[in-house]
Chains A and B, each alone.
Chain A
Amino acid sequence: MKETAEESRTLQKLRRRQAWSGAALLSPALFIYSVVFMIPALVLLIGSFQANQPEKKMWERGWALTSFSRFFSDPYFIKVIGVTLLMGVVVVFFSLMIGYLLAYHIYKAKSLAKTTWITVVLTPLFSGALLQSLGWYLLLARYGPINVLLRDTGILTKPFNFLGTYGAVTIALVHGFLPFMVLSIVNSLRSIPANLLDAAASLGANKFTAFVRVTLPLTKGGMAAGSVLVFGGTIGSFATPGIVGQGKIQLLAQIIYQQAIQVFDWSFASAISLVLLLVLATVLVLTRLAGRKGREA
């Protein structure tokens, strides 16, 4: 009896020591996160419910809902939020279409071709939105190759400046977020057991039927994960609309930057950010729910 009591005491001591060392291992990360992530998020939240008085310290400002009422009563901002959401949906749609095609091709390719194609998809992901946008800026410019092509084929008689149009921004965004979609789908294709498709074939399904009835349903998760990434990326995108949209296309992120840095209305910029965050959270929750329902069905 006595022995076990002692044992449990030692065990307790050991556990406590483990808990302490666990906390010690976590504390550097949690410290930096609280300084540059958690407290700033709180500041943003509080700031959006305050009047815009940049000359005063945060705790001296008055509470106000003016930023929100201004946002929701101005048709211009309502239009921007609508355009941003629509842009998100359109970009998700096209990157799903193109992304699935690329992912399927990569999944089917043999070793060397596979590595090469994956690298082709990874490079734009790693080189970031800015460099890719510069490429699109050149492609779509008034004196760029696409204009020359359209002129030589007789489709256009005068060069057309594609930059600063919704079409141009959509194309550049689809291109920019495509790698996320491709990788999500490739990774879910990889997790399909090969014998499932063999089973489908031996039961008489042709390739097309096997794809529609077996492969496609099993990659739903990858498509959903990719779509969430692409949607979130699009409605928060900043550099691509800036470069390819040339300041003529305003999405939410551009408006936030304008209000914060140029107009210096932090309260209003914070309120817009909060709206954007709520939209994103709603989409995330809805996707989760749809995913759960899909699994039950």
Chain B
Amino acid sequence: MKSTAGSQIPHRILAVLYRIAVYLAFAFVLAPMLLMMLVAFNKADFFSFPLEGFSFRWFKEMAENSEYRSSIMASLKLSLFATLLSLAISMPAALSLRTRSKQWVESVLVAPLFFPLVIWSLGLLQFYGMIGLSGSFLSLLMAHTVMITPFIFRIIIQSLREGNPKLEEAAYSLGAGKWTTFRKITLPLIVPGILVGAVFGYLMSFTDVTLTLFISSSGSPTFPVRVYSEQRSEGLNQIVLAWSAIITLVIFILSLIGEKLAGWSRYF
């Protein structure tokens, strides 16, 4: 071990530099979200820095404004149905594919991951036009379902494969039927995976702009699409910032709970 005073000092400087770099990087990650939160509580009519003062004004206006609320409700509803439908198709598929029997089907089910949304949305826009489904709730529901299914399916199949098949064999040999074994053994083992997948899928559907904007040729069916179109034509509305602050806060709390309880960052 050689440690002279000369090599100690640069070492300490490097350690300090490393700390500074880490905190700058975290500040970079947090800055846009924090500023958005602050501006949501700003009492001025328009955004300009420095901020004018603390106020709940925009949250009150948000509560009174029914247009934004109805688009939030539409988003919540669409994402809920998409998540449920996605779970309903992913769970049986994952059960059937857990033994790695049909690799090609598995590849098909995760393929949308590798397709940029714009491309896929463009094909969908044309096909929906051909079969006369454009603009309907069903068209959005099916598209959102397939958008989030790769994630949900992957998480469920991963937790199925982490589980020990011997447990299920034991249940069979003790006389439990197929359904009982699934309900009592398999399902409890994959519940954390299902929950993580469902929350992640829900949020992905809830925040989507690209897919929804492409296939809903007119109007603004969801909150993000409404915000995107408005921002491009009229600029940013303070009520939107109030909603965004609430959404960000809810997502932060969800992530904290998910990480604490299920360690869900390991699923990515």
Please state if B124 and A36 are interface contacts (CB–CB under 8 Å): yes
B118 — which chain A residues lie within 8 A by C-beta?
Answer: 236, 238, 252-253, 256-257, 273, 276
Please state if B119 and A256 are interface contacts (CB–CB under 8 Å): yes
Please state if B28 and A98 are interface contacts (CB–CB under 8 Å): yes
**What is the predominant secondary structure among interface residues of chain A facing chain B?**
helix
Cα-based distance from A28 to B204 in the complex (angstroms): 22
- A47-B126, A120-B30, A137-B236 known; A41-B35 Cβ under 8 A: no
Cα-based distance from A24 to B122 in the complex (angstroms): 30
A73 to chain B, nearest CB (A): 22
A123-139 vs B, CB cutoff 8 Å, 1 = contact: the mask equals: 11011111110111111
A106-130 vs B, CB cutoff 8 Å, 1 = contact: the mask equals: 0000000001111111111011111
Please state if A134 and B108 are interface contacts (CB–CB under 8 Å): no
Q: How many residues of A contact B (CB 8 A)?
A: 87
Please state if B117 and A236 are interface contacts (CB–CB under 8 Å): yes
Please state if B231 and A280 are interface contacts (CB–CB under 8 Å): no
Cα-based distance from A261 to B47 in the complex (angstroms): 31
B142 — which chain A residues lie within 8 A by C-beta?
Answer: 32, 35-36
Partner of A138, one of B29, B47, B217: B47
Please state if A25 and B93 are interface contacts (CB–CB under 8 Å): yes
Q: How many A-B pairs fall under 8 Å by CB? A: 251
Please state if A135 and B31 are interface contacts (CB–CB under 8 Å): yes
A41-62 with Cβ < 8 A to chain B: 41-44, 47, 57-58
B1-50 with Cβ < 8 A to chain A: 21-22, 25-26, 28-33, 35-36, 39, 47-50
B→A interface (CB under 8 Å) = 21-22, 25-26, 28-33, 35-36, 39, 47-50, 85, 88-90, 92-93, 95-97, 101-102, 105, 108-109, 111-112, 114-120, 122-127, 130, 142-143, 145-146, 149, 153, 200, 203-204, 206-210, 213-214, 217, 224, 227-228, 231-232, 236, 240-241, 244, 247-248, 251-252, 254-256, 258-260, 265-266, 268
A→B interface (CB under 8 Å) = 21-26, 28-30, 32-33, 35-44, 47, 57-58, 98, 101-102, 105, 115-124, 126-132, 134-139, 141, 143-145, 147-148, 175, 178, 180, 183-184, 186-187, 190, 232, 235-236, 238-239, 242-243, 247, 252-253, 256-257, 260-261, 266, 269-270, 273, 276-277, 280, 284
